[in-house]
Structure 1
Amino acid sequence: MPATDAPTPAADADATVAQVGERGALARIIPRLPRGDDTLVGPGDDAAVVRADGSFVVTTDTMLEGPDFRAAWSTWADLGAKAAATNLADVAAMGARPTALVVALAVPGSTPVAELEAFADALAAAVASLAPGCGVVGGDLTTSERTVIAVTAFGSLDGRSPVLRSGAQVGDRVVVAGDLGSAGEGVALLFAEAIVDGVESADEAQRLRIEHPRAVMAQLAPLPPVAMGPVLADAGATAMLDVSDALALDASRIASASGVRLALRAAPLRSFPAPLDRVLHGGEDHALLATLPASAALPDGVLEIGVVEAGDGVTLDGEPLEARGWDPFA
């Protein structure tokens, strides 16, 4: 997001991106974004400069209108919150502290600049809530027939070793921080009740927000337990990942990478408000799934859901569990 000293049109609540241009839009968006504690040079030059004392982690995620979100169901504020949350969760899953985001947007020229301001405000609020001190240090704005949101996130390990998917050991406890199943329940509701005569309905989506706020908002604007990433790392986590594609599928990734079996128990999983099938296969929860040594103290806010065994794959109460979840190509 390069800055500009060129004059820009006066702010107009009804103005579109095409009317004010890239410079005018950025002049209204950039001041709304957090600078960040580790930012040395923010938006305004060809690249940002972020303090990095030691090893850091980098991740990226793209949200494309259609496969990843429906414009009739998500507000621009929802999109800003979700774009921040999904990337911050990936940083946390490595045991790192989020330090900076780079945000690229491609939007139709007819998009009101006020909607991009709502996006920026919600993104800033999500960062402040989930990862205080993290900044938005740059990005890009261009035009497209469909909205595309791409975020790259950076995080500091603060002297820790990264927590990989490949470190689970036989005898470890399997634990989770955050919610499971609500996001899958929410998207199922939207597809079942917010499509009218084959067309996605904003009115029906709004009704569902009111009638089923837990499930629908978990899908549209998730709140992952970002702060728990470093906490779990400090507690001795041997493996960890962000549950973005469903517990069953993501647990199988830890099992495969570590060469072990994750033996899950249904009883603790039934403590979540969503139905068990959604808890196991729903996807887009952005909880943190980790393994901890049996001797490690269990941090507050963490639920034990199983144990690591010799073998392969994932089981539920001793029976093989299908590695099924979200797949954008399915």
Structure 2
Amino acid sequence: MPVGSSPAGPTLGESGEFSLIAQITADLPTSPEILLGPGDDAAVLRIDGPVLTSVDLLVEGVHFRRDWSSATEIGRKAVAVNVADIEAMGGRAVAIVVGLSAPGELPLAWALELADGIRAEGDRSGVVLVGGDVTGGREVTLSVTVVGALDGRAPVRRSGAGPDQVVALVGRTGWAAAGMAVLQRGFRSPRAVVEAQRVPAVPYGQGQVAADAGATAMIDVSDGLLADLGHLARASGVTVDLALDAFEVPDVLQAVAAATGKDPYALLLTGGEDHALVACFVDRGAVPDGWQVIGRTRSPGEGETSGVLVDGNVWEGPAGWDHFGAGR
């Protein structure tokens, strides 16, 4: 079915709330940590040790458009962006609960495809849907809460970095932003960046790898590398200096930048929604395989506040996405 088309068949209003819930929750996967899934007033989990939890909202017209993404892709994205937060703490995602608000005229088939996407990305990330809620609304809105386990690890916080440490990245940056630039101009290619905008390629499992390797601080790149590293730098009281020559601009990003008049490095450094992970390590020898060293930390100079520099200079322009402002 083409993206943006309306599936035939009954609408949510014609099907009803409880029929929708019954179809979504039929034959859901489970795990030993799920003692009780959907069907009661709350799910019951068994998790040893501290518990991680995070929530994300995805609002139609802000985080996705139904004429740009299929219902399956939106469902996958809803899971991926949440699990990335657990990864960034060095944890393992266990369960999610999903709240769905949607208009009554929304086709039932679309909502079921959304649930298929949630289940598919859950299979990829190891997370299980254990409950949620549905309600009517003017547009499609998803609220996803994820619960995770640390499995005996200490949480990797944003505030743990010290001076003279290396900064390393795993995953992609700039791809989703390039996809957004393409879609905003009414195109659907290059396909690779459009797909990256529709569903982020979260480096699942790498948060735990980084934690086991001794990461001192970590964050996922949701709003842009400079913006999110800025959070880490300020929380840790350090200055992060990125080396621009550490970044290789993929051909597809160069092509999009040339076609849209954008700076390819701006895509890499300020583009959000890829959900890569960036972390600090005590030295290069501690950086796990597959991670790319992109800079170092240092103590702020006299009169300097904690933040992020690029080749020793302040980045001119927005550092990333801000829902209530022009950038950070």
**Under a length normalisation based on structure 2, what TM-score does the superposition of the two structures give?**
0.89
1:47 aligns with 2:42: yes
Q: What displacement does 1:234 show?
A: 0.5
| Separation (CA, whole Å) in 2 of partners of 1:235 and 1:28 | 42
Q: Mapping of 1:302-313 within 5 angstroms? A: 302-311=291-300, 312-313=306-307
2:266 alignment partner in structure 1 = 277
| Separation (CA, whole Å) in 2 of partners of 1:61 and 1:180 | 20
Aligned amino acid, residue 224 of structure 1: V
| Separation (CA, whole Å) in 2 of partners of 1:33 and 1:185 | 35
Aligned amino acid, residue 148 of structure 1: T
| Separation (CA, whole Å) in 1 of partners of 2:313 and 2:102 | 47
Check conservation: 1:62, 1:148, Cα contact below 8 A. Answer: yes
2:178 alignment partner in structure 1 = 185
Q: What displacement does 1:27 show?
A: 1.4
Check conservation: 1:180, 1:272, Cα contact below 8 A. Answer: no
Check conservation: 1:95, 1:162, Cα contact below 8 A. Answer: yes
Helix, strand or coil at the partner of 1:319:
coil
Aligned amino acid, residue 223 of structure 1: A
| Separation (CA, whole Å) in 1 of partners of 2:285 and 2:58 | 37
| Separation (CA, whole Å) in 1 of partners of 2:177 and 2:94 | 29
1:163 aligns with 2:156: yes
| Separation (CA, whole Å) in 2 of partners of 1:136 and 1:67 | 24
1:257 alignment partner in structure 2 = 235
| Separation (CA, whole Å) in 2 of partners of 1:222 and 1:26 | 27
Q: What displacement does 1:13 show?
A: 6.2
1:117 aligns with 2:106: no
Aligned amino acid, residue 272 of structure 2: G
Q: What displacement does 1:272 show?
A: 4.5
Helix, strand or coil at the partner of 1:166:
helix
Check conservation: 2:95, 2:147, Cα contact below 8 A. Answer: yes
1:291 aligns with 2:280: yes
1:237 aligns with 2:237: no
1:141 aligns with 2:134: yes
Q: Mapping of 1:210-221 within 5 angstroms? A: 211-221=189-199
Check conservation: 2:167, 2:280, Cα contact below 8 A. Answer: yes
Check conservation: 2:79, 2:118, Cα contact below 8 A. Answer: yes
Aligned amino acid, residue 276 of structure 1: Y
Aligned amino acid, residue 30 of structure 1: T
2:257 alignment partner in structure 1 = none
| Separation (CA, whole Å) in 1 of partners of 2:26 and 2:164 | 50
Q: What displacement does 1:180 show?
A: 0.6
| Separation (CA, whole Å) in 1 of partners of 2:149 and 2:269 | 31
Change (3 A) 1:37 1:113: farther
Q: What displacement does 1:35 show?
A: 2.3
Helix, strand or coil at the partner of 1:301:
coil
Change (3 A) 1:181 1:37: farther
Q: What displacement does 1:21 show?
A: 0.5
Q: Which 4+ runs in 1 deviate beyond 4 A?
A: none
Check conservation: 1:84, 1:123, Cα contact below 8 A. Answer: yes
Q: What displacement does 1:292 show?
A: 0.8
* CA distances 1:114-149 after superposition (whole Å, capped 9, x unpaired): 1111111111111111x22x2110000111111110
Change (3 A) 1:27 1:13: farther
| Separation (CA, whole Å) in 2 of partners of 1:66 and 1:288 | 26
Check conservation: 2:166, 2:284, Cα contact below 8 A. Answer: no
| Separation (CA, whole Å) in 2 of partners of 1:180 and 1:220 | 14
1:27 alignment partner in structure 2 = 22
Check conservation: 1:37, 1:135, Cα contact below 8 A. Answer: no
1:329 alignment partner in structure 2 = 324
| Separation (CA, whole Å) in 2 of partners of 1:74 and 1:37 | 34
Aligned amino acid, residue 224 of structure 2: A
Helix, strand or coil at the partner of 2:10:
coil
| Separation (CA, whole Å) in 2 of partners of 1:270 and 1:295 | 19
Helix, strand or coil at the partner of 1:329:
coil
Q: What displacement does 1:71 show?
A: 2.1
Count of matched residue pairs: 302
Aligned amino acid, residue 52 of structure 1: I
**Under a length normalisation based on structure 1, what TM-score does the superposition of the two structures give?**
0.88
Check conservation: 1:36, 1:100, Cα contact below 8 A. Answer: no
Q: What displacement does 1:236 show?
A: 0.4
| Separation (CA, whole Å) in 2 of partners of 1:295 and 1:146 | 48
* Structure 1 portions without partners, runs of 5+: 1-11, 195-203
* Structure 2 portions without partners, runs of 5+: 1-6, 254-263, 301-305
